[in-house]
């Protein structure tokens, strides 16, 4: 992933850098239009193009690529690079390659983010997870379709969370609930895996549930206030197909992607 902070340190507008970063992370489009970015950020078109060109030349990532295409100057249609000669109806004649206009554009070369099929949210210790209800409401209003959300509440846990026998019990209970609800949701589609958002002790529960249950598979995993050991073997879970991708917020509160884009 691009080192976005470095670009602001090099003098590029924070608003510009954040806007382009959001475009890359959202992956909702295939072409990045400098004019739209300039209009949205108030940054000059020349500066936007300079920044996009810099990203396209970056050795960190080839997510943003500078490409060329042929356009017919008479009808405005895009002409395939491998077959530039075409019959133009506006001119009513053959237009050769030498007559075509060459236009450069910026291609966003990432897979589009998939829709959320269903989700699971797990709260942290010493709380009953009021944020879970807020999140469910936001998900229901943010998207144009209904998102089933399984709100898992394991109860108020304080000092007891440090006791090994209680930890194992919480993992067993969650695994049982997740398998049951997954079976109901996946009855017609085995690939219908949930995205999971976990906070604090909830991050420990989901990590150990996956570790101890190789048959459990989820989609994207977001860890908030993670208490998981830094040496936890996420790579094994990713390689086994138990998790699609993992996001965890570092201390600067921006999301750092630990797996392939989704």
Structure tokens at 154: 């394991």
**Number of residues written out for the chain:** 262
Enter the pTM of the model.
0.52
pLDDT at 200: 83
Structure tokens at 194: 């949930």
pLDDT at 258: 37
Residue ranges in the chain modelled with pLDDT below 70: 1, 28, 60, 111-114, 124-133, 140-145, 154-163, 165, 185-191, 249-262
Q: Is 29 left (phi over 0), alpha (psi -120 to 50) or beta?
A: beta
Across 143-176, b (16+ Cβ under 10 Å) vs e yields eeeeebbbebebeebeeebeeeeebeebbeebbe
H-only helix segments in the chain: 4-9, 14-26, 34-41, 45-56, 130-142, 164-185, 201-212, 234-239
Q: What own/partner pairs with CB < 8 Å and gap ≥ 24 does 46-50 have?
A: 47/12, 47/13, 47/16, 48/16
> What sign does the CA torsion over 144, 150, 153, 154 have?
negative
Tell me: the pLDDT tens digits for 91-128?
899 998 889 999 999 998 876 566 777 888 887 665 55
Neighbours of 72 (CB within 10 A): 20
8 A C-beta contact, residue 150 and residue 192: no
Q: Which residue has the tokens 């026998």?
A: 165
- Determine how β-strand 119-122 pairs with β-strand 64-71: unpaired
pLDDT at 250: 53
8 A C-beta contact, residue 68 and residue 62: no
């Amino acid at each position: 992933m691009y080192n976005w902070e470095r670009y602001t340190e090099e003098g590029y507008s924070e608003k510009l850098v954040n806007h382009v970063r959001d475009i890359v992370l959202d992956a909702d489009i295939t072409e990045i239009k400098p004019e739209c970015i300039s209009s949205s950020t108030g940054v000059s078109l020349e500066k936007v193009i300079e920044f996009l060109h810099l990203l396209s030349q970056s050795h960190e990532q080839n997510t943003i690529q500078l490409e060329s295409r042929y356009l017919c100057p008479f009808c405005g249609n895009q002409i395939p690079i491998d077959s530039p000669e075409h019959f133009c109806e506006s001119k009513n004649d053959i237009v050769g390659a030498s007559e075509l206009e060459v236009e450069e554009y910026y291609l966003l070369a990432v897979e589009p983010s998939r829709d959320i099929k269903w989700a699971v949210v797990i709260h942290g210790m010493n709380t009953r997870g009021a944020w879970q209800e807020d999140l469910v409401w936001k998900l229901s209003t943010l998207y144009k379709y209904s998102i089933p959300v399984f709100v898992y509440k394991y109860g108020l846990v304080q000092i007891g969370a440090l006791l090994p026998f209680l930890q194992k019990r919480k993992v067993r209970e969650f695994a049982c609930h997740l398998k049951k609800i997954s079976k109901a949701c996946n009855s017609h589609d085995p690939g219908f895996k949930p995205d999971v958002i976990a906070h604090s002790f909830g991050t420990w529960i989901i990590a150990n549930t996956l570790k101890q249950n190789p048959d459990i598979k989820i989609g994207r995993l977001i860890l908030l206030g993670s208490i998981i050991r830094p040496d936890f073997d996420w790579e094994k879970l990713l390689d086994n197909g138990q998790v699609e991708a993992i996001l965890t917020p570092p201390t600067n509160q921006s999301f750092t992607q630990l797996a392939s884009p989704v």
